[in-house]
Structure 1
Amino acid sequence: MATLVKDDELRSFDVPEVTRHAGGYTIYKIVLQVTPKEITENSYQIIYWKRYSDIRKLYDTLHRYHQAIYRPGKFPDFPEKSSYMERFNPAVIEERRVATKKFLNYAVEHLYLRTHDAYINFFQKGEKLLLPDVTVDTLQPESISPKEPNISLPDLPTTVQSTSTDEKHDELLFNVDEQDAILNHPLPKILDDLNDLTFDQHDPNPDPSDLHTSTETPSIPPLNSDTNESS
């Protein structure tokens, strides 16, 4: 098969399923995943159903070939041959499935193994299954319409005053106004002027010592007789 020897493809094996054949023996589902390196080509799978005895024969052939040409690297191990009664043991079947997957992936990675006649003949018959392409949405040009610049103003801090603060502020204003009214009122000035005045007071019980006052009437100078006469 040309698809097994092309270098422009990525290949990998999987053994996802095991089932019982109508003939009474176990068959293994082998899936070869092929991914072309060219993005214009579709990926696909080739599905094979193989008996373990056929898988074991391919393993022995490639293993001997690997040893005969003295290739470096350790060839994968494979389970030992079990008895006829153990061929349906689930643990044995699972061990064989895992070993088959590991062995086939090792073989497909080496050119001298995947180009061997035993390898090519083993994969002669298979069911090819195309994989759906990954759909990608086509990018549409976005229509750009002129828009007014959106200028966002910074949020101004909101001053929140409590009721008690407002009451204290009103009280303070009231006290200042009241103080100014009192200071500017004319009544204190009038009282100060009245305090500067002195009044004579008559004591109803005067002190005798205070009664000794001068009662003399001012003397009137006598008239000059000459003056009178001359007049």
Structure 2
Amino acid sequence: MASSTKDTELCSFDVPETARHPSGPTIYKIVLQVTPKELTENSYQLVYWKRYNDIRKLYDALHRYHQAIYRPGKFPDFPEKSRFIERFDAAIVEERRIATKNFLNYALQHLYLRTHDAYLNFFQKGEKVLLPDVETATLQPEIVNTQPQTSTDVIPNPINESVIESKQDELLFTNDEKEQIEHVTNTCAQILEDLNDLQFEQQEQINKEKEEFDLIQEEVNEVADLLSLPLATTTNNNNLS
């Protein structure tokens, strides 16, 4: 496990890939590369597959501890929690992958963090993978493979199920999300169109009522003019007499 690393070893974290666990959540492959300073020893890797929720819990625990003991230096940032439906978004998964790598390397560089109980408990049951000796590899070029290699020994047992099926499930899930988004978009567009039609109908009704009012007002004015005409004539006759 990660706590067994020594001062005589050069260590660094990498998060080279992600996958979908058969039960649903995205899992992150965390690799601790260990290179002994003594040339007589082979390098090796410790491999872990972790859910984002577990990584986030470790980050929160170490961040709180960093603040509680008033350590100098800025603690690495971490992505904000996203909505449930966004957790499979490729951009969000990539952002979390990079942030996890930066955070773990920061913790590895500080003794007070990598000896914390939360850190030690997080790195349990890692899969140890011995790497080939550099000199042996150069003497036997025929075994060198430039293509990415995948070893079933590297991945813990829960991850040994078909990766193709997981990718297909992810694609189906993405298609379902796209259908939901398209449905919501179409519904919103229909509502806006209905509102525009209603507003247009209301405006037409207002214009029609205004025209009727103007006609009535015009008729009233004409009647008022007719009624006022005899009254003015009678008044003039009285003045002459």
TM-score, normalised via structure 2 length = 0.55
1:102, 1:38 → 2: CA distance? Answer: 27
Aligned residue in 1 for 2:48: 48
2:134, 2:86 → 1: CA distance? Answer: 44
What secondary structure is seen at the aligned counterpart in 2 of 1:135? helix
Aligned residue in 2 for 1:133: 133
TM-aligned CA deviation for residue 4 of structure 1: 3.9
- What per-residue deviation string (whole Å, max 9, x for no partner) do you get for residues 115-152 of structure 1? 111101100111100000011689xxxxxxxxxxxxxx
Which AA in structure 2 matches 1:28? Y
Which AA in structure 2 matches 1:57? K
Describe how 1:166-185 pairs up with structure 2 within 5 A: none
Contact 1:48/1:127 (<8 A) preserved: yes
Structure with more helix by fraction: 2
1:111 paired to 2:111: yes
- Greater relative contact order structure (CA < 8 Å, 6+ sep): 2
1:38, 1:126 → 2: CA distance? Answer: 23
Aligned residue in 1 for 2:39: 39
Aligned residue in 2 for 1:74: 74
Which AA in structure 2 matches 1:110? H
1:22, 1:130 → 2: CA distance? Answer: 28
1:12 paired to 2:9: no
Which AA in structure 2 matches 1:7? D
TM-aligned CA deviation for residue 2 of structure 1: 6.8
- 4+ residue segments displaced more than 3 Å: 1-5
TM-aligned CA deviation for residue 41 of structure 1: 1.1
Which AA in structure 1 matches 2:28? Y
Which AA in structure 2 matches 1:100? T
Which AA in structure 2 matches 1:55? I
1:4, 1:90 → 2: CA distance? Answer: 34
1:3, 1:60 → 2: CA distance? Answer: 19
1:2, 1:98 → 2: CA distance? Answer: 19
- What per-residue deviation string (whole Å, max 9, x for no partner) do you get for residues 90-115 of structure 1? 11101000000000000001111001
Cα 1:2–1:52 change in 2 (3 A) is: closer
Which AA in structure 1 matches 2:64? R
Contact 1:4/1:114 (<8 A) preserved: no
Describe how 1:187-226 pairs up with structure 2 within 5 A: none
Over the matched positions of the two proteins, sequence identity in percent amounts to 77
- What per-residue deviation string (whole Å, max 9, x for no partner) do you get for residues 182-218 of structure 1? xxxxxxxxxxxxxxxxxxxxxxxxxxxxxxxxxxxxx
Which AA in structure 1 matches 2:111? L
Rg: which structure is higher?
A: 1
- Unaligned 5+ segments in structure 2 are 140-241
- What per-residue deviation string (whole Å, max 9, x for no partner) do you get for residues 27-51 of structure 1? 0000000011111111000110000
1:12, 1:19 → 2: CA distance? Answer: 21
Aligned residue in 1 for 2:99: 99
